[in-house]
Structure 1
Amino acid sequence: MPGYALGGYDPEAGRNQHEAGAPTLIPVPSLLRSLLSEHLDPGYAAAAAQRRADDRPRSRVADACWQILAALAVATVFALAVAQAQATAPGVRQTQQVLSGSVRSAEQEADSATARRDALAAQLDDVRRSQLEGDERGQQLLDELDVANFSAAATAVRGPGLTVTITDPGVSKDLSDVSKERVEGSRQVILDRDLQLVVNSLWVSGAEAISVGGIRVGPNVTIRQAGGGILVDNQPIASPYEILAVGPPHAMTDVFDRSPGLQRLRLLEASYGVGVTVSSTEDMTVPAGSVREVNFAKGIGDR
């Protein structure tokens, strides 16, 4: 039979009916043919056949009822979700307004405290100078104090220097969190490490005082990424990022043009469309920075 031949062997295979006395051969199925042709185990095939025989065709009405019930269940879930979103929307908006008001109030209080601190610092400096300028020892103390304040970035600096302006192509509206790796097509390009490299390159180029986004860079001042924003001394700055560096413009330009900071900016300009402008200025003012308490470490056993 053709089925037996396809399944692995022919029952008459091996029998010789033409030669008298020839040995009778027992037909053996071909294992290779069986593996190639019979893809389902006989036990599974029998079970499937039995299941097909026992199944009864369901009516089209029953199938339609089940489909209608499933559609109603899905529609009910979506309706409940929409109703819940509409019910919570006023509360969410009110919470956002409260938080926005709190942030604005805190910013106003911080600005007011900063202005008061600057005014008191100026008043203290005037009183100090009026008391110490009368004799040689007092003048020497004032000179030493001026040097210390300059090193601590506690005094404003005015003079010629370089202005580096970096314009980000755009930032995302959602500043909650972004990857710190540049992704093709993402809107934010400039990261904290880019500004850090530019500032370090300006120091190496001979800058005497630097500010980033109007904030003086001094001891204990950091430039960090916070989600989709950049913080300088824990104060947010936004594009375009303006970096002022007081120092000899021509000498600084010669070194800064070959620095890793400017090379990084040129690479970002060519790859992502970042705007980079470097110009020399004959008169600029770098504001004073905030003065913090300096802690000194002591060795074990020292007094």
Structure 2
Amino acid sequence: MSSPADRDREQAGEQQERISQGLIAYLSGHAMDEDYGWITRNQPATGGRGARVAATVTLAAFGLLVLTAATQTSRSAVTVADERTQLIEQITARRQSLDSRIDTARRLTEQNQVLTRAAGTTASAALLARVERLALLTGQSAAHGRGVTVVADDAANADSDRERVLDKDLQRLVNALWEAGAEAISINGQRLTNLSPIRQAGTAINVNFIPLRPPYRLLVLGDPDRLPSRFAATTDGAAWFDLEREVGLRLSITKATRLSLPAAGEQTLRYAQPATQKQGGAS
């Protein structure tokens, strides 16, 4: 027979075995459930992480697109600015080229005129000189040069026509100056030609149909050293000196180194005949 102590030890071993067998059974029965439960509990968390990852990827892609668009826009702006700068430079260069060509054309025109005058033959030069001379004598061109200034005026305190300069007195004065060698004459700004009338009009004298009043200032182109003496040697000049002594008309002649006479007004051609070439080729 076993002793009581042995029986107690056997009972304790059996109880421990039961406890061990129960723990093993519990673990075997609940292990899978707990695994599924853990998976179930962690499923939402796993899903949230995926959404965050997807959102991050989407934002990254969007940022990349924005960066790409900004880069392209910046490059486009730089390209437009470069093209504008190039266009301005081209316009400036072409404008400078045009100004240079205009200056060249003007310079060449002036040179051509100089060369044309220089290349003229003796005959053409003589013809040109004759034309200029005729224009001067007929009053068709303005005249400049040396000469004398002649002033004719009424007698002091004149109270009768005889003491005043009349149209016939002015005509005598002009004729004497032409005879003395005058090349051009103007009276109070009116250029004289071979067709200029000098007529009395009341107390005034019409020259070129313009009424003039004393004093009558005549600008006369010619040799200032010879004109006064030659004037005095003419019949009409001597008559003027007589008027000075007899009725007190006043006359002065002054040398001038520079005179400017205007051109006469436009004249109407009254008669012309074409030149014909004579036999043998002479004109």
TM-score (norm 2): 0.49
Higher Rg: 2
TM-score (norm 1): 0.46
